[in-house]
Structure 1
Amino acid sequence: MSNVLDSFPETMITATPADGFALAITYSRLGVKSAQPDMDILEKLRPVYSEDADSLIASSQVVATHFQTIATANNYWR
């Protein structure tokens, strides 16, 4: 099993807000993999949380928080 940090992006600087949003999703996914590194368990749990509205809203909030940080780093809203 590889270390999550091995695939961690080197910078938060992106060319466009869309690229920044994609990076926010990457950060969120890396956070989940860091919290639960066992891919078998992640795959087993996916059907449970993928149909739970509260879980989906919570994951959206995490992505939004990462995107806010990336947007600030890139000065998107100047």
Structure 2
Amino acid sequence: MTDSWLPTLLTETSEEGYALAVRLSRTAVKLTQPSAEVRERVRADYAEDFGALIAISHVVATNFHTVAAANGFWRS
């Protein structure tokens, strides 16, 4: 079996689940724009753009929903 950056969506706690959601979101950006130089250069364009920051929050929330569902909402 090969090593995977995402071996599972299962986490012990909701806090770990949220951290995983952030990681999923950041990885999507890296896969979409593989050039670290370009990502760093355009960071200033959205760093103070409130619409972009809200959009980023939405992506994390969507990923967190996915992780939460995979965890049975932490087996409640």
TM-score by length of 1: 0.87
Alignment of 1:23 onto 2:2 = no
Query: Structure 2, unaligned stretches of length 5 or more?
Result: none
The number of residues matched between the two structures is 73
Task: State whether residues 8 and 30 of structure 1, in contact with CA within 8 Å, keep that contact through their aligned partners in structure 2.
Answer: no
Q: Is 1:58 matched with 2:32?
A: no
Offset at residue 8 of structure 1 (A): 2.3
The correspondence of residues 2-41 of structure 1 with structure 2, limited to 5 A, is 8-41=5-38
The 4+ residue runs of structure 1 with deviation greater than 3 A are none
Which residue identity does 1:36 align to in structure 2? Q
User: 2:69 corresponds to which residue?
Assistant: 72
Distance 2:39 2:54 in 1: 18
Q: RMSD between aligned alpha carbons?
A: 1.4
Unaligned runs of 5+ in 1: 1-5
Q: Which residue identity does 2:19 align to in structure 1? A: A
Amino acid at match of 1:35: T
> How far did 1:50 drift?
1.0
2:40 to 40, 43, 46: 43
**TM-score normalised to structure 2 length:** 0.89
